[in-house]
């Protein structure tokens, strides 16, 4: 197969993985480092923020069951990732896997998608890190000026702490993955230690009455408690598991990727599931799930700790461990550091792979000979993410959830089915069991999760994908190393049709969003979606016309 669906051969990917030297990534990561990498990025904003909200609004104490359901869904995708990571042990994650199985155009879509998701994740967590820092410093009597800790939309000027943490994490990555791996391992050790401390100290303050009823009766509205509430809760807490796929982007820095990548992905997922269930069990045991509603639910840990104690004569609970609140916030700050670092690492490695394939300029695939890291890619994302973190509100960044990552998961699961048919003899150290059942369950799970996402998320995804198609049409399609220098490539019409389809989808999602929020509400996203739709509709129609004219001229000649 050639043209826009040309596939990278598995043998070339495997030979690329075997390369060594001053201009290649240094192999320093073992299975323990990979597990730490996975746990470091998975345990982040989700555990410390959304658990209380989900428990109070959808699940009650049964949030533990929601975590189990979500973990099972992640496991399906994780098994598929593990097979590809052992078969194609190179940097790039779902991008590389798609390139080898579904072709260049699909790989570009996935890679561009992942860049967006990692950018938004790093931005959101850095803004949240800034807020936790302000709270922590207030606890020790230090007040930071609001104008320098909030963006213009939140009443400030610029969010300096959010920008600083992005720059610091980027500089650590630029110096090399070995140092960043040690740093990440230390943070993960401290973070897990504090979580276990919370579980152990809180266990004796569990009030079994708080677990009755364990699954609150449905209110009559779908998704609000009852069985449907557990599954809606699973759809929301699913995003607390996102990140295990980031482990696969470090394949070229792994000593023995065929053996260690499956271990890193699956063990990190297992460790996080156990920690999440224990954490949620103690959290809803020491305090009633109804206490996690409203503004206080944003910081569920603080609510739970305030209930770890005995009531005084007036019936007010006196916290037994007032010091624990500061320790937890400190752990969250450290934990967020590891999340930011790993997402920035994953971003730059996906860009590195796309640049090496000729789909992006070679500037992004240059390896610094001293540190043997892609300094240019790291520097680009350091500037982009720090500016976003300093100038946009957390709500805007947070609304762009992991729809793209779920799409990547769906395609990776589908790719396993394709590879088992088209490349059955390719050696792989790990195989997904019960094919085709596991990949199909993974596809269905991810698609269901995507259906829970709001319309404005779809608008931003469609707009980003249209921009990505523009970049590919203007640069990547002409500079691909698999088919260099070709004026016309087979499948170009598919690209144009995809551009037109996304333009139509931009109109549909814009109308859907406006219908959801009300026609009297702000219409900025609707107008933006229409502008992108009609300009790109004209652009891709023009490409079709030009292509037809060039073919006519060639036929006459």
Residues 351 and 398 in one domain: yes
Mean pLDDT confidence for 33-42 = 78
Residues 219 and 339 in one domain: yes
Find out whether 256 and 22 touch, Cβ atoms under 8 Å: no
Structural domain that includes position 324: 3-9+48-310+318-453
CB neighbour burial string for 39-72, b if at least 16 within 10 angstroms, e if fewer: bbbbbbbbbbbbbbbbbbbbbbbbbbbbbebbbe
Residues 136 and 71 in one domain: yes
pLDDT at position 17 is 60
Residues 533 and 447 in one domain: no
Average pLDDT over the chain, rounded to an integer: 82
Domain boundary (405, 420, 453) is at 453
pLDDT at position 65 is 93
Q: Would 26 be classed as within a structural domain?
A: no
Q: CATH number of the domain that 138 lies in?
A: 1.20.1740.10
Of 382, 30, 376, which is closest to residue 182 (Cα–Cα)?
30
CA dist 321 and 174 (Å) reads 40
Of 227, 195, 223, which is closest to residue 65 (Cα–Cα)?
227
Residues 58 and 117 in one domain: yes
pLDDT at position 406 is 77
Residues 347 and 397 in one domain: yes
Domain count, the chain: 2
Give how far Cα 516 sits from Cα of 37, 454, 462, Å.
39, 9, 18
Q: What is the pLDDT of residues 476-495, one digit of tens each?
A: 998 898 888 776 788 888 99
Kindly write down the DSSP assignment for every residue of 449-464, as one continuous string. Answer: HHHTS-HHHHHHHHHH
Q: Would 553 be classed as within a structural domain?
A: yes
> Which residue has better confidence, 242 or 92?
242
Domain boundary (418, 433, 453) is at 453
Q: What is the pLDDT of residues 499-531, one digit of tens each?
A: 999 999 999 999 999 987 889 988 999 999 999
Find out whether 351 and 374 touch, Cβ atoms under 8 Å: yes
Q: How confident is the model at residue 177 (pLDDT cuts 50, 70, 90)?
A: low
Q: What is the pLDDT of residues 439-459, one digit of tens each?
A: 999 999 888 877 777 788 789
Residues 254 and 180 in one domain: yes
Say whether pLDDT at 332 is over 80: no
Q: What is the pLDDT of residues 23-34, one digit of tens each?
A: 555 667 788 888
> Which residue has better confidence, 398 or 126?
126
Mean pLDDT confidence for 429-442 = 87
Q: What is the pLDDT of residues 49-94, one digit of tens each?
A: 678 888 998 899 999 999 988 888 888 888 888 787 777 766 556 7
Residues 285 and 176 in one domain: yes
Residues 224 and 279 in one domain: yes
Q: Token pair of 419, please? A: 């590879």
Say whether pLDDT at 22 is over 60: no
pLDDT at position 434 is 87
Say whether pLDDT at 554 is over 80: no
Residues 202 and 238 in one domain: yes
Most confident stretch, 283-297, 326-340, 499-513: 499-513
Residues 429 and 552 in one domain: no
Say whether pLDDT at 408 is over 60: yes
Domain boundary (437, 453, 469) is at 453
Residues 63 and 109 in one domain: yes
For the ranges 56-70, 232-246, 267-281, the lowest mean pLDDT is seen at 232-246
CA dist 100 and 83 (Å) reads 13
Q: Would 393 be classed as within a structural domain?
A: yes
Say whether pLDDT at 401 is over 70: no
Of 242, 214, 142, which is closest to residue 446 (Cα–Cα)?
242
pLDDT at position 37 is 77
Do strands 317-319 and 309-311 pair parallel, antiparallel, or not at all (unpaired)? antiparallel
Say whether pLDDT at 295 is over 50: no
> Which residue has better confidence, 19 or 78?
78
Find out whether 329 and 115 touch, Cβ atoms under 8 Å: no
């Amino acid at each position: 197969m050639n043209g826009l669906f040309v596939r990278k051969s598995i043998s070339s990917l495997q030979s690329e993985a075997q390369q060594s030297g001053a201009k290649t990534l240094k192999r320093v990561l073992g299975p323990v480092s990979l597990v730490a990498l996975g746990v470091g990025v998975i345990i982040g904003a989700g555990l410390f923020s959304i658990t209380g909200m989900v428990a109070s609004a959808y699940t009650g104490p049964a949030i533990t069951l929601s975590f189990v359901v979500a973990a099972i869904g992640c496991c399906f995708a994780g098994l598929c990732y593990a097979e590809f990571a052992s078969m194609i042990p190179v940097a790039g994650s779902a991008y590389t896997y798609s390139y080898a199985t579904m072709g260049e155009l699909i790989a570009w879509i996935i890679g561009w998608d992942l860049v967006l998701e990692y950018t938004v994740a790093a931005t959101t967590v850095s803004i949240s890190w800034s807020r936790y820092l302000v709270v922590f410093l207030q606890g020790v009597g230090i007040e930071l000026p609001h104008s320098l800790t909030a963006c213009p939309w939140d009443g400030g000027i610029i969010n300096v702490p959010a920008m600083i943490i992005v720059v610091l994490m980027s500089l650590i990555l630029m110096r090399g993955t070995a140092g960043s791996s040690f740093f990440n391992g230390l943070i993960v050790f401290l973070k897990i230690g504090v979580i276990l401390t919370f579980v152990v100290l809180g266990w004796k303050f569990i009030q079994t009455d708080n677990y009755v009823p364990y699954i609150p009766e449905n209110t009559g509205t779908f998704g609000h408690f009852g069985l449907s509430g557990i599954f809606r809760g699973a759809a929301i807490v699913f995003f607390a598991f996102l990140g295990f796929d980031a482990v696969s982007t470090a394949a070229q820095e792994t000593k023995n990727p065929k053996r260690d990548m499956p271990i890193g992905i699956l063990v990190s997922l297992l460790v996080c599931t156990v920690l999440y269930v224990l954490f949620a069990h103690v959290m809803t045991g020491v305090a009633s799930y109804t206490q996690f509603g409203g503004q206080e639910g944003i910081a569920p840990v603080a609510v739970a700790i305030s209930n770890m104690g005995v009531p005084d004569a007036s019936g007010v609970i006196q916290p037994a461990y007032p010091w624990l609140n500061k320790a937890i916030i400190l752990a969250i700050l450290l934990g967020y550091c590891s999340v930011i670092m790993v997402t920035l690492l994953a971003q730059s490695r996906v860009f590195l792979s796309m640049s090496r394939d000729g789909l992006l300029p070679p500037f992004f695939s240059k390896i610094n000979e001293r540190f043997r890291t892609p300094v240019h890619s790291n520097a680009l994302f350091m500037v982009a993410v720090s500016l976003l973190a300093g100038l946009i509100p957390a709500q805007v960044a947070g609304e762009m959830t992991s729809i793209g990552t779920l799409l990547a998961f769906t395609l990776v699961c589908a790719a396993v089915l394709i590879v088992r048919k088209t490349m059955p003899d390719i050696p792989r150290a790990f195989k997904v069991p019960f094919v085709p059942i596991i990949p199909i369950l993974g596809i269905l799970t991810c698609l269901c999760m995507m259906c829970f996402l709001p319309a404005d998320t779809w608008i931003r995804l469609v707009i980003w994908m249209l921009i990505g198609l523009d970049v590919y049409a203007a640069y990547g399609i002409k500079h691909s190393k698999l088919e260099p220098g070709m004026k016309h490539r087979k499948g170009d019409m598919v690209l144009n049709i995809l551009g037109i389809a996304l333009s139509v989808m931009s109109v549909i999602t814009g109308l859907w969003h406006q219908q959801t929020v009300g026609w009297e509400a702000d219409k900025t996203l609707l107008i933006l979606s229409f502008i992108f739709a009609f300009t790109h509709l004209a652009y891709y129609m023009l490409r079709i016309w030009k292509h037809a004219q060039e073919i006519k001229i060639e036929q006459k000649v």
